[in-house]
Amino acid sequence: MAVDEVGLRATVAVLRGGGVAIFPTDTVYGVGACPEAEEALRRIFEAKGRPVDKPLQLLCASRAAARRRAAAWPRTVEALARRYWPGALTIVLPAGADVPAQAQREGTVALRVPGDAVTRRLARACGGCIAATSANRSGGPDPRTADEARAQIGDQVDVVLDGGPAAVGTPSTVIQWSAVAGLAVVREGAVPAREVLALAGALEGR
């Protein structure tokens, strides 16, 4: 299904109806569902063959929507969010009370405001955030196009939204903040982690 008004409305209807969608993001193609749709979240893990101890992340429509899902939002995180969002930086924070279990690990949640306007529109349709992960089989190649995603898990979702090749084509960089340890790099990705840590260090040194 193409990214036009018809395709977007159809995808929103699928998500709001408790379905699972493949969709473009700025980094790689994602597969997701509304966070409250428990059966749809279960289907994502099943489609990917994803271990249950590897949670989904929340792709959010705005910083405000992301902040509502976090139990803590320190000054450094706010500064990083302002600098890198919308964009390819994922921030892991203490999870708020309304984060589904499938998007939590040891009381934390991974949050990102993606650079793709289509993804943000889908997130708004799901109440501000969409629970998602890359649209591939677990351990498979990162899908940079709808066809690559469709070839891996397309037969197990309700709709595939084709927005052309992903602009970045590389997964996001993931950092984690905790009150005890501060910031740590979880995964190097599209944003240079050293740049993020340098900015955070400069902020904390003020």
Rounded to whole angstroms, how far apart are CA atoms 141 and 20? Answer: 20
Average pLDDT, the chain: 96
Report the chain's terminal Cα–Cα distance, integer Å.
49
Render pLDDT for 39-81 as a digit per residue (tens, 0 to 9).
Answer: 999 999 999 999 999 999 999 999 999 999 999 999 999 999 9
Domain ranges of the chain: 5-204
pLDDT of residue 198: 93
Q: What SS3 state is found at 14?
A: helix
Would you state the pLDDT for residue 202?
80
State which residues of the chain have pLDDT below 70: 204-206
Confirm if 144 and 165 have CB atoms less than 8 A apart: yes
Q: What pLDDT score does 201 carry?
A: 82
Which pLDDT does position 117 carry in this prediction? 97
Token pair listed for 18: 């408790």
pTM of this structure: 0.96
pLDDT value at position 151? 98
Class of domain 5-204: alpha beta
